[in-house]
Structure 1
Amino acid sequence: MFKSNSLEPSDGVSFPGPVTAAGSPVDLDTAPRDAWEKVRRRLRAEIGEEVYSSWFPRLELDGIFGATARLSVPTRFLKTWIQQHYIERLTALWSEELGVERVDLIVRTAVMRAPGLPMRHAAVPTPMVRPAGEPRPAASTPIPAPSLSGDVGGGSPLDPRLTFASYRLGDSNRLAHAAALKVAAAPAGAGPVFNPLYLHAAVGLGKTHLLQAIAAAGPEHGRRVVYLTAERFMYGFVAALKTQSAIAFKEQLRGIDTLVIDDLQFLQGKSVQQEFCHTLNALMDSGRQVVIAADRPPTELDALEERVRSRLAGGLVVEIAPLDEELRIDILSARVGALALQHPGFNVPPDVLSFIARNCGQNGRDLDGALNRLLAHNQLTSRAITLEMAETAVRDLVRSSEPKRVRVDDILRIVAKHYNVTRADILSQRRTANVVKPRQIAMYLAKMLTLRSLPEIGRRFGGRDHTTVLHAVRKIEGLVGSDRAVADEIETLKRLVSDD
Structure 2
Amino acid sequence: MTAQPPRHEHHPAAGDAGQSLWQSCIDQLAQELPEQQFNTWIKPLRASLKEDASVMTLQVANRFKLDWVRAQYRQRIMQLLEKLYGQPVDVELAITLSEVSAKPSFASPVAGTVSFEDMVEAAEDRGFGTPKNRLNGMLTFETLVEGTANRMARAAAMHVATMPGHLYNPLFIYGGVGLGKTHLMHAVGNRLLMDRSNAKVLYIHAEQFVSDVVKAYQRKTFDEFKDKYHSLDLLLIDDVQFFANKDRTQEEFFNAFEALLAKKSHIVMTSDTYPKGLADIHERLVSRFDSGLTVAIEPPELEMRVAILINKARAEGSDMPEEVAFFVAKNVRSNVRELEGALRKILAYSRFNQKEITIALAREALRDLLSIQNRQISVENIQKTVADYYKIKVADMYSKKRPASIARPRQIAMYLAKELTQKSLPEIGELFGGRDHTTVLHAVRKIGAERQQATELNQQLHVLEQTLKG
TM-score scaled by length of structure 1: 0.55
Q: Is the 8 A contact 1:225 1:257 kept in 2?
A: yes
In structure 1, C-alpha distance between the alignment counterparts of 2:312 and 2:461, rounded to whole Å: 39
Describe the superposition over 1:393-451 as per-residue Cα deviations: whole angstroms up to 9, x where unpaired: 11223383654417899667588211799xxxxxxxxxxxxxxx999999999977884
Where does 1:191-210 land on structure 2 (aligned, <5 Å)?
A: 191-210=165-184
Identify the residue that residue 417 of structure 1 maps to in structure 2.
403
Deviation at 1:464, TM superposition (A): 8.7
Are 2:250 and 1:273 aligned?
yes
Match of 1:400 among 357, 373, 394: 373
User: Residue 255 of structure 1 aligns to which amino acid in structure 2?
Assistant: S
How far off is 1:184 after superposition? Answer: 0.7
The residue number in structure 2 matching 1:239 is 215
Number of residue-to-residue matches in the alignment = 338
**Counterpart among 181, 194, 201 of residue 220 in structure 1:** 194
Deviations 1:452-497 (A, max 9, x none): 5579979x9999997x998x6898589649x936x97799799999
Question: What is the aligned counterpart of 2:352 among 374, 377, 380?
Answer: 380
Is structure 2 residue 301 aligned with structure 1 residue 334?
Answer: no
389 and 313 in structure 1: CA distance in 2 versus 1, 3 angstrom threshold: same
Separation of aligned partners in 2, 1:453 and 1:400: 21
Take 1:455 and 1:174, find their aligned partners in 2: how far apart are those partners? 31
Q: How far does residue 291 in structure 1 lie from its aligned partner after superposition?
A: 0.8
1:176–1:319 CA contact under 8 A, matched in 2:
yes
1:110 to partner: Cα distance = 12
Comparing 358-367 with 310-319, greater Cα deviation is found at 358-367
Mapped to 2, the partners of 1:469 and 1:280 lie a distance apart of 36
Q: Cα deviation per residue 1:316-354 (whole Å; 9 max; x = unaligned)?
A: 1111122122222222222122211xxxxx443332222
- Shift of the 289–469 alpha-carbon distance from structure 1 to 2, 3 Å rule, reads closer
User: Within 1, Cα distance between the matches of 2:410 and 2:326?
Assistant: 43
Decide which structure has the larger Cα Rg and report it: 2
Q: Which amino acid aligns with 1:315?
A: G
Letter in 2 for 1:246: F
> Is the 2:186–2:203 contact (alpha carbons within 8 Å) kept by the matching residues of 1?
yes
Quote the Cα distance in structure 2 between the aligned partners of 1:372 and 1:388: 16
Q: Distance in 1 between matches of 2:399 and 2:177?
A: 20
Shift of 1:373: 0.8
**Structure 1 residue 368, shift from structure 2 partner:** 1.4
Does 2:298 align with 1:321?
yes
Question: Are the counterparts in 1 of residues 415 and 448 from structure 2 also a CA contact under 8 Å?
Answer: no
Q: For the residues of structure 1 that align with 2:116 and 2:445, how far apart are their CA atoms?
A: 54
Which residue identity is paired with 1:176?
A: A
Distance 1:322 1:382, change over 3 A: same
- Aligned counterpart in structure 2 of residue 368 of structure 1, from 311, 333, 340: 340
- TM-superposed CA distance for 1:229, in Å, is 1.4
Alignment of 1:9-408 (within 5 A): 126=71, 144-145=116-117, 155=132, 157-186=134-163, 191-222=165-196, 223-268=199-244, 269-340=246-317, 346-398=318-370, 400=373, 402-405=376-379
Change (3 A) 1:447 1:198: same
Kept after mapping to 2: 8 A contact 1:416/1:438: no
Task: Name whichever of 266-275 and 234-243 sits farther off.
Answer: 266-275
1:267–1:273 CA contact under 8 A, matched in 2 = yes
C-alpha deviation, 1:379, in angstroms: 2.3
TM-score (norm. length: structure 2): 0.58
Conserved 8 A contact 1:403-1:498 = no
**What is the rounded CA distance, in whole Å, between the counterparts of 1:242 and 1:339 in structure 2?**
45
Deviation at 1:167, TM superposition (A): 1.9
- Cα offset, 1:219, TM superposition: 2.9
In 2, Cα distance between equivalents of 1:208 and 1:353: 24
CA distance in 2, matches of 1:464, 1:339: 43
CA distance in 1, matches of 2:306, 2:414: 40
Q: Deviations over 1:273-301 (max 9, x none)?
A: 22112222232244321111122211222
Q: Distance in 2 between matches of 1:145 and 1:498?
A: 49
For 1:320 and 1:480, the matched residues in 2 are separated by 32
- Asked whether the equivalents of residues 410 and 497 of structure 1 are also in contact (C-alpha less than 8 Å), the reply is no
Alpha-carbon distance change, 489 to 411 in structure 1, aligned in 2, over 3 angstroms: farther
Query: Match of 1:396, SS?
Result: helix
Give CA-to-partner distance per residue, 1:140-182, whole Å, 9 cap, x none. Answer: 9998248789x9xx75521111112222212221211111111
Instruction: Quote the offset at 1:361 in angstroms.
Output: 2.9
1:265 Cα offset (Å): 2.4
Alignment partners' CA distance in 1, 2:222 and 2:465? 45
Amino acid across the alignment from 2:453: R
Q: State how far apart, in whole Å, the 2-side matches of 1:478 and 1:334 are.
A: 44
In structure 2, the residue matched to 1:58 is none
The alpha-carbon deviation at position 261 of structure 1 amounts to 0.7
Greater length-normalized contact order (CA 8 Å, ≥ 6 residues apart):
1
Which stretch of structure 1 is more off in the superposition, 323-332 or 313-322? 323-332
Q: Is the 8 A contact 1:228 1:261 kept in 2?
A: yes
Q: Structure 1's 293 and 455: CA in aligned 2 closer, same or farther, altered over 3 A?
A: closer
Alpha carbons of 1:403 and 1:305: their partners in 2 closer, same or farther (altered >3 Å)?
Answer: farther
- Structure 1 CA distance for aligned equivalents of residues 400 and 356 of structure 2: 47
In the alignment, which residue of structure 1 is the partner of 2:453? 484
Query: How far apart, CA to CA, are the structure 1 residues paired with 2:295 and 2:223?
Result: 33
Higher helix share: 2
